[in-house]
């Protein structure tokens, strides 16, 4: 028996790989309805956080829970129902090249076998319509632009009707219109009641989509709060992240 909380929580999580500390005493709460971005420079451990919550890797110490159910050091079978509440949009989209857009989006539903083919096809069309790429239904990933691939990846994440959607660097490699499309889509998802957790170093996208921010620096959480609190934070490593000053890099 567990109490059904409405959040994903990480408490004092430590994760080490190959003798290197990636996360040290990391805390985070993703409350339903409050969208969060995890900020940090490249290699600071942002994707690692998503993988830990998804149970793809396991922490050496600390606790992780999904809606009140602790998942730390338990087999996925023990928390399958909680795990299903989360979907992830991977950095490169991670679409299956040999499948059409429609097959990619419906893949998980077909695998589960709970719904008829007609029902799956209806959901696939609805999700593709939501992200604005329904005409691409029968195309293959190789025939899509980078922005379309990301939108198909979002449609695929939505197919299983998750509560939480994780975004790993969703705007990397997109032109300004592509970035705008992804930001508006994330905002529409939030209006539709989804809770998003994004990892990125793209500040404009973070500020346009999230209410709360966590910043990692040298494997530790150095800031947690709102945009205004982040901008006002006097810590040097926070200000350095917001406005990098080391111009020698460009000389």
- Which residues does residue 213 pair with via DSSP β-bridges, in sequence order? 37, 225
- Select from 25-33, 42-50, 96-104, 232-240 the region that touches ligand ATP (CB under 6 A): 42-50
The least CB distance from residue 68 to ligand ATP, in Å, is 26
Identified binder of ligand ATP from the candidate list 48, 82, 205, 214, rule CB under 6 A: 48
> Rule CB under 6 A: is residue 19 a binding residue for ligand ATP?
no
Collapse the DSSP code of 196 into the 3-class scheme (helix H, G, I; strand E, B; otherwise coil) and give the result.
strand
Structure-token match 């709970």, residue found: 114
Identified binder of ligand ATP from the candidate list 40, 55, 93, 178, rule CB under 6 A: 40
Give phi and psi for 86, each to the nearest 5. -115, 135
Identified binder of ligand ATP from the candidate list 19, 43, 75, 193, rule CB under 6 A: 43
Identified binder of ligand ATP from the candidate list 45, 62, 102, 147, rule CB under 6 A: 45
Where does residue 143 fall: left (phi above 0), alpha (psi -120 to 50 degrees), or beta otherwise?
alpha
| Binding to ligand ATP in span 165-204, by CB under 6 A | 199
- Which CB atom, from 47 or from 187, has the smaller least distance to ligand ATP? 47
Q: What are the E-state strand segments in the chain?
A: 7-17, 20-31, 36-39, 61-66, 69-70, 86-89, 164-168, 195-200, 212-217, 220-225
Q: What residue ranges bind ligand ATP (CB under 6 A)?
A: 17-18, 22, 40, 42-48, 199
């Amino acid at each position: 028996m567990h109490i059904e909380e409405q959040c994903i929580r990480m408490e004092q999580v430590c994760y080490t790989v190959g003798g290197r500390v990636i996360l040290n005493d990391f805390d985070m709460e993703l409350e339903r309805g409050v969208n969060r971005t995890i900020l940090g420079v490249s290699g600071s451990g942002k994707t690692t956080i998503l993988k830990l919550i998804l149970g793809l890797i396991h922490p050496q110490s600390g606790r992780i829970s999904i809606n009140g159910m602790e998942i730390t050091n338990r087999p996925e079978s023990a928390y399958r129902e909680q795990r299903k509440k989360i979907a992830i949009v991977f950095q490169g989209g991670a679409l299956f090249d040999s499948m059409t857009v429609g097959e990619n989006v419906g893949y998980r539903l077909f695998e589960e076998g709970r719904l008829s083919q007609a029902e799956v096809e209806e959901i696939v069309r609805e999700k593709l319509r939501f992200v604005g790429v329904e005409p691409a239904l029968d195309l293959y990933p190789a025939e899509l632009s980078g922005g379309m691939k990301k939108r198909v990846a979002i449609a695929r994440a939505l197919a299983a009707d998750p509560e939480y959607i994780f975004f790993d660097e969703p705007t990397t490699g997109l032109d300004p219109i592509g970035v705008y499309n992804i930001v508006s889509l994330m905002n529409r998802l939030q209006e539709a009641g989804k809770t998003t957790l994004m990892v990125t170093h793209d500040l404009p996208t973070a500020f346009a989509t999230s209410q709360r921010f966590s910043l990692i620096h040298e494997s530790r959480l150095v800031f947690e709060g709102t945009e205004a609190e982040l901008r006002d934070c006097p810590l040097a490593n926070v200000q350095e992240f917001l406005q990098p000053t080391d111009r020698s890099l460009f000389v």
